[in-house]
Chains A and B, each alone.
Chain A
Amino acid sequence: MKKLPITELDSFLKSLNMPVYLPSDDPSGQAKFTRWAEGVQLTQQLNTVRSAKDLFFPQMENLVDFKVQDQKIEIIEHRNVSENFVIFGVRACDAAAFEILDRVFLSDPVDGYYKERRDHALIVTMACSAPEETCFCTAFGIDAADPKGDVTAWKTEDSFFFRANTGKGEKLIAGLADGDESAVQAQQAQTREILSKLPNGKLDLTGFDGAHMMEKFNDSRWKELSEACLGCGTCTFVCPTCQCYDVREFNTGDTIQRFRCWDSCMYSDFTKMSAGQPRPTQLERFRQRFMHKLVYFPDNNDGVYGCVGCGRCLQKCPIHMNIVKVAKTIGGEGNG
């Protein structure tokens, strides 16, 4: 265990000599992952409004350019090679979400754009000390008091404590002084006490699996659950595991840029094609989002759910509908 006085964070980050992204408050007071420079302060808030997925899967990125002239086409590949960078202060939920994104983007055929960033990232997670009512990471077996990552950090009143989990992580904190674990253990005990009492922490997900796919899909209560959904897509954009994307083109006047951007299964044109629309109303779109996270994804991925319980959708949905309500309505009896 290594220790660093909070007052020395700036000099530590500077000494790393590579880009560092950390959650910091913007002028409107919203926490977001920001490129660190001297004076950029670590937020006091529990979590960022948008998740950390942006750093591996940006909201928009160019894939390839084309030059079209008469009948000829030229393909211009312009992939940027990433340099090593640090993401500092990732919460346990967002760190767990990286593993879910990996299952999509790093499975065959590997997405090179994502992999390039993933390979060059060093993740310093930050243990939670004050989980909020909207948190339910415990439902997915995530321990917010002991998150994963290359390095795990704990923040106490006056110090950071660091534990390396990988070789890369060890190198990152090698220069720091040794610290005593007892302060961390005390904080962990306190955090776990809060976690054990989270109102949604023991969500019963019994029955959300491939074996019950048809039963869940045909549940009559999707109608009442989806009725008020505005189809705004906010839940998908703040979600750390949502990875659906669109591929579009932009004519710069010089080239055709083919870019990828986030898309949302909540939108009507997500599946609309000239041959028809397989998800014609918000019911089908709403159902798709939750069936994907709770049934389809785990069935295709060794039982791993496509949700990490970060609670962003609970905070942001304008009609207060969310995955917890869905799970409670059509999930196991343990939800009471």
Chain B
Amino acid sequence: MAEYREPLIPMLGVVTAIRTDTPDVKTFTVTGLDGKKPFVHIPGQCAMLSIPGVGEALFSITSSPTKEDALEFSIKKCGCVTDWLHAMEPGQQITIRGPYGSGFPVDTDFRGKDLVFVAGGIGLAPLHSVINYVRANRANYGKVDIVYGSRSMQDLVDFDEILNEWSKEEGITVHLTIDREQPEWKGHVGFVPNYVKELGFDTSRTVVMCGPPIMIKFTLAGLMELGFDKSNIYTTLEMKMKCALGKCGRCNIGTKYICKDGPVFRLDQLDELPDEY
């Protein structure tokens, strides 16, 4: 049995690589001090990262569990901790604890399904983990469509991987869109919700969504119009957290704690909870 660890005491990790994805998103590769992956996770799960003296915050794990040597986190610069992360250099030690949360049902409900991933902006981060897990276990899943949009083409996270790997894989179709025209952009222009409606997917498919609340709201309305069942739509929620253990008391929506009962929810489950997120 593993040695008992105080759940609030983190372990040390080291940021081995930092990739700049967009003007405000960087992807951080994190290992333990032994150079190995800190822990095993399920797609959709999160981890608490901290820089002592700056603070601790929860981030979704961007890499797939099938990545064996490290964890990756795509992080948008938007607050104290993330500002600090964006300013640091590779080789920096950080603290890490986790994994937290329920994750996506990749080995149960998603099995054998035709999947549609819908992501906006940094919302690709948690879906990235699922998408690469699906790619690594391709035989277990049906068709895959990925609809991904952001403000501009410079804001598309992981653009290289999307273009050079995802788009070229059999059975995977990538639909990219940006909010406003750009001279060098040859692809689709428009907001994600409208694009999803235009693409008009078969209602038997399982939809996995993550992005800004406004995108989720309108995409959902579109999916309802198309006739999708809420029990086939998954999303992830975000709330402020301090412990990630279901004890500090602030990330609940009704009876559910986002840190342990979520962050992944099916829309029919969310319908049973108060509208407070």
The answer to whether A and B interact is yes
Tell me whether A63 and B8 are in contact (CB under 8 A).
Answer: yes
A268 to B7 alpha-carbon distance, docked (Å): 27
Interface-central residue, A243, A245, A265, by most chain B CB under 10 Å = A245
Residue B119 at the A interface, CB < 8 A?
Answer: no
Contact of A244 among B82, B91, B245, B250 (CB under 8 A): B250
A90 to B9 alpha-carbon distance, docked (Å): 32
A132 to B7 alpha-carbon distance, docked (Å): 41
Size band of the B side of the interface? 35 or more
Contact of A278 among B54, B93, B276 (CB under 8 A): B276
Tell me whether B250 and A251 are in contact (CB under 8 A).
Answer: no
Tell me whether A247 and B242 are in contact (CB under 8 A).
Answer: yes
9-residue interface stretch from A45-53, A170-178, A193-201, A292-300: A292-300
Residue B252 at the A interface, CB < 8 A?
Answer: yes
Contact A249 to B247, CB < 8 A, known contacts A71-B89, A296-B254: no
What is the number of contacts between chain A and chain B, taking CB atoms within 8 Å? 121
* 0/1 string, A227-267, CB within 8 A of B gives 1: 00000000000000001111101010000101010010100
Residue B78 at the A interface, CB < 8 A?
Answer: yes
Name the A residues within 8 Å of B10 (CB-CB). Answer: 75
Classify the secondary structure of B's interface with A: loop
Tell me whether B238 and A275 are in contact (CB under 8 A).
Answer: yes
Contact of B276 among A111, A273, A279 (CB under 8 A): A279
Residue A270 at the B interface, CB < 8 A?
Answer: yes
A296 to B254 alpha-carbon distance, docked (Å): 6
Tell me whether B255 and A300 are in contact (CB under 8 A).
Answer: yes
9-residue interface stretch from A91-99, A145-153, A180-188, A209-217: A209-217
Tell me whether A217 and B94 are in contact (CB under 8 A).
Answer: no
> What is the size, in residues, of chain A's interface with B at 8 Å between Cβ atoms?
52
Name the A residues within 8 Å of B254 (CB-CB). Answer: 213, 217, 291, 296
Contact A296 to B52, CB < 8 A, known contacts A109-B7, A213-B274: no
Residue A66 at the B interface, CB < 8 A?
Answer: yes
Query: Shortest Cβ distance from B255 into chain A, in angstroms?
Result: 5
Query: Shortest Cβ distance from B90 into chain A, in angstroms?
Result: 9
Tell me whether A109 and B248 are in contact (CB under 8 A).
Answer: no
Tell me whether B248 and A263 are in contact (CB under 8 A).
Answer: yes
Tell me whether B93 and A72 are in contact (CB under 8 A).
Answer: yes
Name the A residues within 8 Å of B246 (CB-CB). Answer: 107
Tell me whether B247 and A271 are in contact (CB under 8 A).
Answer: no
Query: Shortest Cβ distance from A186 into chain B, in angstroms?
Result: 43
A271 to B10 alpha-carbon distance, docked (Å): 23
Residue A64 at the B interface, CB < 8 A?
Answer: yes
Contact of A247 among B93, B248, B276 (CB under 8 A): B248
